[in-house]
A and B are shown apart, each in its own frame.
Chain A
Amino acid sequence: MPGLLSVFSFEPGWPLYVYAKYGLLTLQNRGEEKKILCMNANSGVECRDLYEWSSTKNISNGFIAGVFNSVDLDGYIYWNDKLAVITDRRFKEISELADSIEKLISEDALWRSIEKVLSDFNGKEIPSFIAITKNGDEVIYRSPLGLTPLSIGGYGFDLLIASSESSTIEVLDADVRRYLKPGEGVVVSRNYLRFFQVERSRIWKICAFELLYTSRHDSLIDGIGVYEFRKTLGARLSRQLQSENIDIVLGVPETAIPYAIGLAQASSKPFEQAFIPTPVRSRSMLKNNPLERLIAIHLKLNPVKSVLEGKRVAVVDDSMVTGATLKSVSQILRNRVGVRELHLFIASPKIIKECPYRIFEFNKDCLISANLDDELLRKYLEVDSVNWLDLESLNDVARMYNCKLCGSCFGREVLGVDQ
């Protein structure tokens, strides 16, 4: 789930490094292990670690950049002095894609016939990507499969900004202009800007995890408010709550708060902010090292004992992958605080399959619900109940918002359709 960011300026003199710095900061929910910035230096296009650019004199009229949760960027980035391409899913044919674009540049046909080249890649499930050429021209393209979002923003008469998160555009003091449709792209040079549409796949869908977990609460995906969507799922989840068994509702961790608010409001139970974080450098949270991960979780979860002690607690989370966070939460609530009952509410169905698009690179043996049955899961987590949002409910909510979700990891290829 990398995050993509590009800026193109129609006027010279913009402080591009600052835009890259703050822009990538808005994308840290999508990865912090690597931040890469590609732009033109003296000898042509170069891709470097963000911080390595800080002292470089700006000679470029734009950049492309990405954040990644992995240090291995194979299939995410390809660059030479003429061109750089960054994708948001690993793409084996990235060098072929770059070669095709490079050929267009050499024929001076980038903005005339980019869609012809891209339609050749359609069958290969081409991911969303951004590209920059030696001339500073840019291509921004959303995968015909949809899956991940891309928003386009404008600033005055000067800038075009594209980002995986619509909120990036707002944080950079610009206006969101449109959400690229699947298979839609924009090619931009100093004198020309053209939106184009490559035939989209027969079925396009948004990765359910974009709406469930990946995106910021303040973003819109294809015009759908992420915060609202999450609250609606929380409210849906309240149907599984027997309210006489619950005293308070918590959202853990921070990403789960809209769900908890939705569930609390729908069930007329009080929502409490019962964990207070100690600020940490958020990088460590995304570390793959289990100990560092645990350190981050523990620092984030200091309980407000007085609201929790002796209570029957509903803990809401957006999803359960390895169960590590919820295991920690349970240990804190059981051992350090002492709650009377502990019920888990998970605002998504069980993840039982690997992601066929490798948006999430988990192997099946790391997915807790693919490996433990309900009884064993309850015992492992030491909870009174685990309540999952069922597939039908997610299907209904997706339909309500008029969007099609990819639910491959839940065992259902498309959600948001009439069954």
Chain B
Amino acid sequence: MKILLVGSGGREHALAKLLFNSALKPRLFVLADYVNPGLKREAEASGGKLYTGDTVNPLEVARIADLVSPDIIVVGPEEPQFTGVVDVLREKGYSVFGALSKTSMIERSKVFARTLMWKHSIPGRLYFKAFKNLEEAYEYLKHAGDVVLKPARQAGGKGVRVIRDTRAYLTSDKTDVKIQAASKIFDELSRYQDIEYKIIIEQRVEGVEYTAQVITDGSSILPLPLVQDNPHAFEGDLGPETGGMGGISGPGFLLPFITSDEFNTTIDIIQKVLRALEVEVGEKYTGVIAGQMMLTPIQGPTVIEFYSRFGDPEIGCLIPRIESDFLEIIERTVSGRLAGAKLEVKDNVVSIVKAVAPVGYPSSRKEALGHPVSINEKAINELGCIVLYASVEEVGSVLYTKGSRVFEIVCYGENYNEVYKRSLIALTHIESLDGWPLFYRRDIGSPEQINERIKLAEKARQTYTYRASRGLVNESIVWIPGKGVVENMLFSTLTSSRGGFE
């Protein structure tokens, strides 16, 4: 069987490993934007090949597909989906795992995703308001209160600003911060022509984040085990937002701080979204959808955003945990035979993934670019850990950083404490060759961090179960002296933009 994998980074390397490890003995071909040494090696070891080319250009991807003539094509990242790579490949008759341009709207446009949830009354939705022009956003922000500002289009997991505004004495000054943040988001999104709304302003929630990934052939779904990702660049959940600095998974399908009820509610939300999506765009969803979730005091499992692809580094965390033949699942997905498929997971294995990035990521990627690095993969493998090559390019025999996360190290074992200790040793086998520092988050997967998350989840659980029992899910009753009771006063300024889809 021949597989063509489209994409260049750590996610695709994880997928290559999952696909390669199949009884179907696939030959793996890869189309990447640059020579990712990990992908190149997996491809060559399987008797395949790595091609380089423009992965977001549908015609170029189709040309390589015609050259390889694969049985299945897996499109890893979101940008090729947005530009219609999957559409073109399917028209040509290929079996493709990945969202169509229309269905990938669930990730590309946050306004589309939120509107869909409101229109179809799907639980876990947040109040929001979206703007096409800056002046209206400014006007609105003067009285917005406690909100999150996001680029309305997926922009590489960047640009989100959480402006907690719960102290009256700081509020007027925070308005200025919000207005500056909005202006920056408008600037950054001006380069995208495929989106109408530029900014989305949402009700701010807090709680514990987790990612639920679900594979679907358009009729049946197959949930993967939950993973927790860590978006802050630095230890202690400090610093700017990144694409994810690492995560944990297990035991079983859950995390130490998410119950099976919460898991089921989450999967139910995603299933409802898939159904609604099909109704709205008139296409079946073939591929994976990921819900970036948060367990909130306001309503329990709550949707922060969706991805129309596997999470990165989330999927890396699952490599050592999936028992089933992953390629067989992909094959059943693209041929519409997912019904009855079961995902076997190694219940007694937990995993921790940690990303290593050059200093400069994520705020000054130019500074993070072009630094030679080395990795002692043998030593890391001997520790029982897996190396994923991400934003790293092989030029001659030297590895150079590409500006984002360079490597992801996946360690696994029977308990977090032991795996955590081993992962720290594994990370010592990565070196910068020009003295430019690399960083990673020590705290991810530590017993202290996991305990902290358990406490936070318990706090959220206590409140959302109370609210649910009193019929207060996402409701807030306000009594104004002399006026009477006003329901949802707190959110009255943040109403859904029900003005239809773009």
* Interface residues, chain A, with chain B CB atoms under 8 Å away: 10-15, 18-19, 22, 111-112, 152, 154-158, 160, 171-175, 177-178, 190-195
Min C-beta distance of B199 to chain A, whole Å: 16
B174 cross-chain contacts in A, Cβ below 8 A: 15
Selected A-B contacts with CB under 8 Å, 29 pairs: A13-B176, A15-B170, A15-B173, A15-B174, A15-B177, A18-B170, A112-B437, A152-B236, A152-B238, A154-B236, A154-B237, A154-B239, A156-B161, A157-B162, A157-B239, A160-B238, A160-B239, A171-B167, A173-B164, A173-B165, A173-B167, A190-B364, A191-B360, A191-B364, A192-B437, A193-B233, A193-B235, A193-B238, A193-B239
Query: A178 and B236: CB pair below 8 A?
Result: yes
Query: A193 and B234: CB pair below 8 A?
Result: yes
Once the chains are docked, how many angstroms separate the CA of A190 from the CA of B361? Answer: 10
Residues 270-290 of B, flagged 1 when their CB comes within 8 A of A and 0 if not, give: 000000000000000000000
A12 cross-chain contacts in B, Cβ below 8 A: 180
B364 cross-chain contacts in A, Cβ below 8 A: 190-191
Once the chains are docked, how many angstroms separate the CA of A316 from the CA of B437? Answer: 55
A172 cross-chain contacts in B, Cβ below 8 A: 167, 170
A11 cross-chain contacts in B, Cβ below 8 A: 161, 181, 240
Once the chains are docked, how many angstroms separate the CA of A13 from the CA of B177? Answer: 6
Q: Does B359 sit at the interface, judged by CB under 8 A?
A: yes
Q: Does B439 sit at the interface, judged by CB under 8 A?
A: yes
Inter-chain contact total with CB atoms closer than 8 Å = 82
20 extra interface residue pairs, beta carbon distance < 8 Å, beyond A154-B232, A156-B164 = A11-B181, A12-B180, A15-B177, A18-B170, A112-B437, A155-B164, A157-B160, A157-B239, A160-B239, A171-B167, A173-B165, A173-B166, A175-B237, A190-B363, A191-B359, A192-B439, A193-B234, A193-B238, A193-B239, A195-B235
Residues 222-244 of B, flagged 1 when their CB comes within 8 A of A and 0 if not, give: 00000000011111111111000
Residues 146-164 of B, flagged 1 when their CB comes within 8 A of A and 0 if not, give: 0000000000000011111
Q: Does B367 sit at the interface, judged by CB under 8 A?
A: yes
Min C-beta distance of A255 to chain B, whole Å: 24
Q: Does B169 sit at the interface, judged by CB under 8 A?
A: yes
Once the chains are docked, how many angstroms separate the CA of A12 from the CA of B161? Answer: 12
Please list the 5 inter-chain residue pairs (A to B) with the smallest Cβ-Cβ separation, ordered nearest first: A156-B162, A15-B173, A193-B234, A177-B236, A13-B180
| Chain B residue with Cβ nearest A161 | B238
Instruction: Count chain B residues whose beta carbon lies closer than 8 angstroms to a beta carbon of A.
Output: 35
Once the chains are docked, how many angstroms separate the CA of A11 from the CA of B437? Answer: 22
A22 cross-chain contacts in B, Cβ below 8 A: 169-170
Min C-beta distance of B264 to chain A, whole Å: 29
Once the chains are docked, how many angstroms separate the CA of A22 from the CA of B174? Answer: 14
Once the chains are docked, how many angstroms separate the CA of A223 from the CA of B101? Answer: 50
Once the chains are docked, how many angstroms separate the CA of A334 from the CA of B472? Answer: 56
Query: A10 and B169: CB pair below 8 A?
Result: no
| Chain B residue with Cβ nearest A189 | B359
Min C-beta distance of A158 to chain B, whole Å: 7
Once the chains are docked, how many angstroms separate the CA of A73 from the CA of B163? Answer: 36
Query: A195 and B236: CB pair below 8 A?
Result: yes
Min C-beta distance of A210 to chain B, whole Å: 22
Min C-beta distance of B163 to chain A, whole Å: 7
Query: A154 and B169: CB pair below 8 A?
Result: no
Once the chains are docked, how many angstroms separate the CA of A82 from the CA of B139? Answer: 41
Once the chains are docked, how many angstroms separate the CA of A10 from the CA of B362? Answer: 11
Min C-beta distance of B12 to chain A, whole Å: 27
User: Which residues of B (428-444) have their CB < 8 Å from a CB of A?
Assistant: 437, 439, 442
A155 cross-chain contacts in B, Cβ below 8 A: 164
Known: A154-B238, A157-B240, A193-B234. A10 touches B363 (CB 8 A): yes
Min C-beta distance of A195 to chain B, whole Å: 6
Once the chains are docked, how many angstroms separate the CA of A67 from the CA of B237? Answer: 28
Once the chains are docked, how many angstroms separate the CA of A262 from the CA of B180? Answer: 49
A111 cross-chain contacts in B, Cβ below 8 A: 437
Once the chains are docked, how many angstroms separate the CA of A190 from the CA of B437? Answer: 14
Most buried by B among A152, A154, A192, A195: A192
Residues 164-198 of B, flagged 1 when their CB comes within 8 A of A and 0 if not, give: 11110110011011001100000000000000000
B239 cross-chain contacts in A, Cβ below 8 A: 10, 154, 157, 160, 193
B240 cross-chain contacts in A, Cβ below 8 A: 10-11, 157
